[in-house]
Structure 1
Amino acid sequence: MHDLAPMARFGGLVATDLRDVTSDPEALDSSGFWAVAADFEGRLTCARFGDVRHAPVPAPDPGRWRGPAAGDWTTSMDRAAYTAGVRRIRAHIAAGEVYQANLCRVLSAPLPDPAAADVDALTALLARGNPAPYAGTIRLSAHGVEIATASPELYLRREGSRVESGPIKGTGRTAADLLEKDHAENVMIVDLVRNDLGRVCASGSVTVPALCAVEAHPGLVHLVSTVRGELAPGAGWRELLDATFPPGSVTGAPKSSALRILAELETAPRGPYCGGIGWVDADRGTGELAVGIRTFWIDRERGVLRFGTGAGITWGSDPEREWDETELKASRLLAVASGTYAQSGRTGR
């Protein structure tokens, strides 16, 4: 089924009839409806579709998705390697090189029938087992892009010249679990996002209308802030992406130092994880890209399903607690993909 027709699904819309695929972000300011996937490492895929219509995510079709066995998931960094990485980042913080860095690992598992795997079937399961405000699908098999995301995080929303970002920093099972460290981490990343948007927005237009709001999501809570601005005259999607990518919440502060440190510590490319995933309606001057967290993607070449998880590391981080946070973020979604999640919220893992 890897020759399934190209399609995308976001926000109650489904897009079919592929017309064009490009890596040029300026196309997003031309015309048409575009699905957008930006890998963390910088690969950009923009796909223009001719037929866009309202359509709910279909109910799961029993047997349509055959996910990996629950015990087959492996990680690019085990507990020992990850906690050692946390300690390394704390040493960099002590040396004054960085204030925060988001350390990530990639989970992989073989698909039992790779040829039959369809990310849109996985999306149907995620919509029931882990509903998310920025959920979506991009299926472009011929271009190596097959993504199902259940992202809770807004990377960029654009309405004409108005832009908004909703960085998430701070995670717990309940609001009572959130620590002072979580609030400090969120404020640091808000400052970074303000600076990023300030590079492309009109002077004085960047504001923070909400700081460290507690949002409930399936199985956990997050601290979420809102940053808004007005694009400077002449600025479009190219300039906006150049100024803000990769998203600040999944890199660190200062961003350049965090990226250098993470490149030394992480042992696998992130791919769509922590990139940007969403849609742009160039005719209306609108668009919405999620941060590619809580995201699955198919690696056809190796016949595996991949998923990323991570945590923001600050001086106040406890290595074991940060590992546990990555497990919390992943457990429910892996259970959905492997067929061990029950609507009661219990898993077989």
Structure 2
Amino acid sequence: MTSDLGALDSRGWWAVVVTYEGKVTCARFERVRRAPHPGGAWVRPGEWRSSLDEAAYVAGVEKIRDAIADGVVYQANLCRVLSAELPAGATIEGLGARLARGNPAPHAMTVKVPGLEVACASPELYLARDGDVVESRPIKGTARTPDGFLPKDHAENVMIVDLVRNDLGRIAEVGSVEVPGLCEVEEHPGLVHLVSTVRARLAGGHGWPELIAATFPPGSVTGAPKSSALKLLGMLEPVPRGPYCGAVGWVDADSRRGGLAVGIRSFWAEEGLLRFGTGAGITWGSDPLLEWRETELKAARLLEVASGEGAGQGLAERGARRP
């Protein structure tokens, strides 16, 4: 295990987790094989509590809208972290197996290494690499059905695509950045997203350290301009995001291939607690209460799987309260 991203350009197959705050965990495995997801015990977690309750979240949205009016940011992704007691006997592989059955996702991954346990059901590709070709597929825009998207969803997606283009352009061959897909509708369990694709070719001399340095944290979970959004969110969010909104995935250094998901739809075990993050992108056109409800929509399916509860129950009904 190492925190050196340069190891990903060496040899072997690696599991990779980078927290939103930048803590890197790279674990190289001696043996890699195809196998079913491992089973494990799972016990329903305790009562969920939120780092921001509805009133605090709505107030945060208003502050972001004020910052937009002042020209500080164009968009920012306001998040909250839910926590529940992790019962004795519950294992992260057990939760990962439940997610694989109940909420299959294109970039799902369960990671259990010393000091780190994550069960991720991410629908969003942060970075894929095949040799020198890299691709990102930012998600912006969430609705229950395709006809539920608002004009602000498309505008937000285009803003983030421009940000990702600029990030990749910092380490790409001149003229190689392209957008082969813009605001395409993707269906996922319980909701739909607008997804775009940005592709580029790495300039000579650049590898994983330079690629992540130029693009992290992912633009879809920060805002634009990224540096201003990060400062603003640091003032509005009371707890660290951890693996949520970071990067979770794998790298095969021998074949120079890899895939890192944006660490959304992710649970992680920490200090006897199970944590889960949810958030929404805020623009000038945002309705604060609707943004709160979007965070509930994004979390509902995953918490149902983890808790074994029926569909349609809101987080408020689950007791997701601010401590």
Aligned to 1:27: 7
Q: TM-score normalized by structure 1?
A: 0.88
Question: Which residue number in structure 1 is paired with residue 242 of structure 2?
Answer: 271
Larger RCO: 1 or 2 (CA < 8 Å, sep 6+) = 2
**Separation in structure 2 between the aligned mates of residue 310 and residue 31 of structure 1, nearest angstrom:** 36
Query: How many residue pairs end up in the alignment?
Result: 315
Tell me which residue corresponds to 1:246.
Answer: 217
1:1-349 map, 5 Å: 21-58=1-38, 64-69=41-46, 72-113=47-88, 116-140=89-113, 142=114, 144-299=115-270, 301=271, 303-341=272-310
- TM-score normalised by the chain length of structure 2: 0.96
Cα displacement (A) at 1:119? 1.0
* 1:275-326, Cα deviation, whole Å (9 max, x unpaired): 0000000000000000000000001x2x110000000000000000000000
> Distance between the aligned counterparts of 2:112 and 2:279, measured in 1?
25
**Amino acid paired to 1:283:** D
Report the Cα distance in structure 2 between the residues aligned to 1:339 and 1:321, rounded to whole angstroms.
Answer: 26
Give the Cα separation in 2 of the matches to 1:67 and 1:273.
Answer: 21
Distance 1:110 1:194 in 2: 40
The 3-state SS of whatever aligns with 1:139 is strand
Instruction: Structure 1: state its 5+ residue gaps.
Output: 1-20
SS in 2 for 1:274: coil
**In structure 1, how many angstroms separate the alpha carbons of the residues matched to 2:23 and 2:220?**
19
Q: Which residue type is aligned with residue 124 of structure 2?
A: E
Do the aligned partners of residues 347 and 125 (structure 1) sit closer, same or farther apart at CA in structure 2, a change above 3 Å counting?
farther
In structure 2, list runs of 5 or more residues that go unmatched.
Answer: 319-323
**Is this contact kept in 1: 2:181–2:197, CA < 8 A?**
yes
Shift of 1:101: 0.2
| TM superposition outliers: structure 1 runs of 4+ over 2 Å | 345-349
> Quick one: which amino acid aligns to residue 98 of structure 1?
V
State the one-letter code of the partner of 1:322: E
1:152-208 deviation per Cα after TM superposition (whole angstroms, max 9, x unaligned): 000000000000000000000001110110000000000000000000110110000
SS of equivalent to 2:239: coil
Q: CA deviation at 1:117?
A: 2.6
Partner amino acid, structure 1, of 2:172:
C
Whether the 8 Å contact between 1:151 and 1:294 is mirrored in structure 2 is yes
Identity value in percent:
67
RMSD after superposition: 1.2
Q: Report deviation, 1:346.
A: 5.8
1 CA distance for matches of 2:9 and 2:313?
A: 44
Query: In the TM superposition, what whole-angstrom CA distance separates every residue of 1:239-280 from its partner, at most 9, and x where no partner exists?
Result: 000000000000000000000000000011000000000000
- Contact 1:332/1:347 (8 A) holds in 2: no
Counterpart-to-counterpart distance in 1, 2:296 and 2:23: 28
Partner SS state of residue 226, structure 1: strand
Aligned to 2:321: none
